[in-house]
Amino acid sequence: MKKSTIINLIFVLAIGIALHLLRKAGFINGYYDHILTKICMFIIAAVSLNLINGICGQFSLGHAGFMAVGAYIAAIFTKNPGLIIPEAIAGMPRFFVALIIGGLMAAFVGFLVGLPTLRLRGDYLAITTLGFGEIIRVLLLNWKFVGGASGYFGIKPYANFLSVYVLAVITVFIIQNFITSSYGRACIAIREDEMAAETMGIHTTKYKIIAFVLAAFFAGIAGGIYAHLMQAIMPRDFSFLVSVDILLMVVLGGLGSTSGSIMAAIFLTLVTESLRRFQSLRVIIYSLMLIFIMIFRPQGLLGGQELSVSMLKEKIKLLFGRIKPEKGYASTNGTE
Amino acid sequence: MPVPVLETKDLTIRFGGLTAVMDLNIHLDEGELVGLIGPNGAGKTTVFNMLTGVYKPSAGTISFCGELLCSAEHSVPPSQISIKGIARTFQNIRLFKELSVLDNVKIAYHQHVKYGLATSFFHIGKYAAEEKEIEKKAIDLLQLFGLENKKNEQAKNLPYGEQRRLEIARALATRPKLLLLDEPAAGMNPQETQNLMELIRFIREEFDLTILLIEHDMSLVMGVCERIYVLDYGRVIAQGSPAEIRTNPKVIEAYLGSEGIA
Ligand SMILES: Nc1ncnc2c1ncn2[C@@H]1O[C@H](COP(=O)(O)OP(=O)(O)OP(=O)(O)O)[C@@H](O)[C@H]1O
Ligand SMILES: [Mg+2]
């Protein structure tokens, strides 16, 4: 591991511990606790979608579908003690095992969806994943075992802030490591020029599928967390609009930037929560926001750059040093 | 007789009614530097596209180091061909424009990476050592091409001549046996062309390469190639040493028909 990675990790740990202590001391009440957990869940969803849409340059609209798979599968396992996972594994350990099974199931479905589609160039993936999301929803509506349209209830609230925070950190760690590795460079090459990447010996279909399946896995994990946070899930919780919300996070943060996705996930979750009482307004504000991004900062907040502790240090040095800071730099305080 | 590095037999490709390349029979022996010339639209780039798996031939075969590479019945994806040892550059430069010069080269090393996917998730084991080695090799290569001081610049910001050189460096990073260069001197001034000629000769020795070169710039082809094939309307109309080609009436006619021989 590089030194900068370790510094970032320490920074992230410090934030986690600080938030945890604030909760313990009673400064963060149940409602904010819920929102913090939700933020972490959306971070997992956004960072994984960024892997497909931002890094690999493929346009997927199916994240809600993968989240639905993860949510229902994980919930089935925590609600039915003794189902496949031995009964001895109960409580939190059962939750984690259920999450992983949900993630693996989502990854498997991702593989089935990606295999025929990712061979093709162009917009086929957007269309297929859009259809896939709807198919999953219709299947769930008609699956009596998980309650059909009325929903699946009585899921235990295993998803607390601390556990989900740790899961988010692990997710970001793994995905960011992948992106900076040679495999990640291969994915970026596909985004930049598919034909040139192929000619350089990169099996483009294979790497697109790897990225897609990896993203589907983490979307499944996010879905599992959602189920155990809300304690009840319905097929309409995973509508196309949820995929769009997550896509908006990725675009707002800057396609290809993990830290951008994280910041946008935090920001948009807060906006959504504060507008909870004005549902119809939310749609308008989101649309306006999207239009403003496209006009004023089409590359997103970070424009594909990564924010890190060392980079913040550089910027601060620049700010107080002799050199004048660059004008128009998006001033944001990140958590990566 | 030694096995040729590259051999095509009756290679043909049709696009609808147009036969872009017809019954092409060429061969390159190990270490040769061969030119492929011809007027605009003769089918030169199309030959490269067949050799690298971008187009599937309509008829005929391509053999690489004595092994059947592809034919009309059996196509191989470009990535597989690159792994077998054929690298190329593009007539209309196809660098990863938004990425750094260094990353452009590192990406081409990817096919030789030994650490697995799981290692890439956790950056454990041989990850650090291998990434360091990739970086070192990429920088060494850039050094040969005089680009190491620009390694952090975006590829699109390099001057044209340097972009062409970077594309060759990137192709070499795949460690090919056979290098295909599509008009490497296009857009260069005479001095740059001269330097490029020396560079091409140098890399052939340094990397034990066999090179097939498409070129419009006659001085480059005549100066550097040992043997030349002349293509016109998809057919080979002449082949031989530069001296023979220069005086071949068919070649003169083909070129006078278009722009005249330099
Ligand atoms: N994908 C394609 N579909 C249809 N026709 C094609 C295709 N690719 C090439 N051709 C045609 O094949 C012929 C040969 O083109 P090619 O690009 O190989 O010529 P070239 O010798 O490289 O010319 P130049 O010197 O201009 O680069 C042209 O008539 C071209 O229009
Ligand atoms: Mg050409």
Determine the pLDDT at residue B257.
61
Q: How far is the CA of B129 from the centre of ligand 1 (A)?
A: 45
Return d(Cα A137, Cα B214) in angstroms, integer. 55
CA distance B25 to A47: 52
Q: Does the distance separating the beta carbons of B77 and A198 come in below 8 Å? A: yes
In-domain check, residue A75: yes
pTM summary value: 0.90
Residue B122 scores a pLDDT above 60? yes
What's chain A's average pLDDT? 87
In whole angstroms, give the CA distance from residue A90 to residue A101: 15
Using the predicted structure, report yes or no on whether residue A45 has a pLDDT greater than 90: yes
Structure tokens at A196: 């040139």
Which atom of ligand 1 lies at the shortest distance from residue B43's CA? Answer: 18
Average pLDDT over residues A219-247: 94
Residues of A whose CB is below 8 A from B103: 185, 188
Checking ipTM against 0.95, whether it exceeds it is: no
Question: Whose Cα sits closest to atom 26 in ligand 1?
Answer: B40
Question: Scanning every residue of chain A, which has its alpha carbon at the shortest distance from the alpha carbon of B85?
Answer: A201
Chain B residues within an 8 Å CB radius of A202: 79, 107, 110-111
pLDDT tens by residue, B59-75: 999 999 999 999 989 98
Q: Which of B99, B108, B119 sits opposite A188 (nearest CB)?
A: B99
Query: Among B52, B95, B107, whose Cβ lies nearest the Cβ of A186?
Result: B107
Residue A179 has pLDDT above 80, yes or no: yes
| Residue pLDDT, tens place only, A60-114 | 999 999 999 999 999 999 998 878 888 777 788 899 999 999 999 999 999 999 9
Q: Is A50 part of a structural domain of the chain?
A: yes
Q: Which of A26-40, A156-170, B42-56 is predicted with the least confidence, judged by mean pLDDT?
A: A26-40
pLDDT band at B104 (very low <50, low <70, confident <90, very high): very high
Contact list, B134 vs chain A (CB under 8 Å): 182
Q: Computed from CA positions of residues A76, A79, A85, A91, in that sequence, does the dihedral angle turn out positive or negative?
A: positive
Task: Identify which ligand lies nearest to the alpha carbon of B38.
Answer: 1
Q: Is the pLDDT of residue B261 over 80?
A: no
Contact residues for A181 (Cβ-Cβ < 8 A; gap 6+): B115, B119, B120, B123, B127, B131
* Tens digit of each residue's pLDDT (9 = 90 or more) over B133-161: 999 999 999 999 999 999 999 999 999 99
For the segment A260-305, what is each residue's pLDDT rounded down to a tens digit?
A: 999 999 999 998 888 888 777 877 887 888 788 878 877 777 777 7
Residue range B8-47, pLDDT digits in tens: 999 999 999 899 999 999 999 999 999 999 988 999 999 9
- Residue A333 has a CB neighbour count (10 Å cut-off) of 7
Does residue A72 lie in a domain region? yes
Question: Which one of B110, B127, B132, B168 makes the best mutation probe of the A interface by having the most chain A beta carbons within 10 Å?
Answer: B110
Residue type, B161: G
- Which spans in B110-217 are helix H? 117-122, 127-144, 160-173, 190-206
Start-end of H helices in chain B: 44-51, 78-84, 101-109, 117-122, 127-144, 160-173, 190-206, 218-224, 242-247, 249-258
Six-digit token string for A177: 């490591």
The confidence score (pLDDT) of residue A321 equals: 61
Of B78, B97, B173, the CB nearest to A198: B78
Test site for ligand 1: of B14, B19, B45, most ligand atoms within 8 A of the Cβ: B45
Is B106 within 8 Å of A182 when comparing Cβ atoms? yes
Is residue A98 domain-resident? yes
The secondary structure of A191-251, three-state, reads HHCHHHHHHCCCCHHHHHHHHHHHHHHHHHHHHHHHHHHHCCECHHHHCHHHHHHHHHHHH
Of B107, B121, B174, which is closest to A189 when you measure between CB atoms?
Answer: B107
Interhelix angle A204-230/A182-192, rounded to 10 degrees, is: 110
Closest residue by CA, ligand 1 atom 17: B45
Q: Of all protein residues, whose CA lies closest to atom 30 belonging to ligand 1?
A: B41
Q: What is the CA radius of gyration of chain B?
A: 19
What pLDDT is attached to residue A87? 79
What is the chain A residue with the closest CA to B167?
A: A196
Q: What residues are in contact with ligand 1 under a 6 Å CB criterion?
A: B 15, 18, 20, 38, 40-46, 91
The nearest alpha carbon in chain B to A207 belongs to B117
Among B79, B83, B89, which would you mutate to test the A interface (most chain A Cβ atoms within 10 Å of its Cβ)?
B79
Q: Give dist(CA A66, CA A238) in Å, integer.
A: 9
**Total domains, chain A:** 1
Q: Is residue A39 a contact partner of residue A31, using CB atoms and an 8 Å limit? A: no
Residue type at position A31: Y
Q: Nearest 5 degrees, angle CA B122-CA B128-CA B131?
A: 110
Nearest ligand by distance to the CA of B90: 2
**How far does the centroid of ligand 2 lie from the alpha carbon of residue B179, in Å?**
16
Name the residue of B14, B15, B24, B233 whose CB sits within 8 Å of the most ligand 1 atoms, as the mutation to test its pocket. B15
Between B251 and B60, name the one with better pLDDT.
B60
Q: What tokens were used for B216?
A: 């419009």
Residue-number span of the structural domain to which A193 is assigned = 3-240
Q: Contact at 8 Å (CB) between B254 and B39?
A: yes
Nearest CA to ligand 1 atom 14: B43
Ligand 1 atom closest to B44 (CA): 21
Beta carbons within 8 Å of A139's beta carbon, 6+ residues apart: none
Average pLDDT over residues A179-194: 96
Taking alpha carbons only, the member of A183, A43, A52 closest to residue A110 is A52
Query: Of A48, A180, A200, which to mutate for an interface test with B (greatest number of B Cβ within 10 Å)?
Result: A200
A200 to chain B, closest Cα gap in Å: 5
What pLDDT does residue B169 have? Answer: 96
> What pLDDT is recorded for position B256?
65
Domains located in chain B, CATH noted: 1-85+176-262 (3.40.50.300), 95-175 (no CATH)
Residue A292 covered by a domain: no
B166, B101 Cβ separation under 8 angstroms: yes
Report whether pLDDT(A330) > 90.
no
Is residue A274 situated within a structural domain? no
- Within a domain: residue A168? yes
- Kindly list the strands in the beta sheet with B210-214, ordered across the sheet, starting from the edge strand earlier in the chain: B86-88, B178-182, B210-214, B33-37, B227-232, B235-240
A to B CB pairs, distance under 8 Å? 102
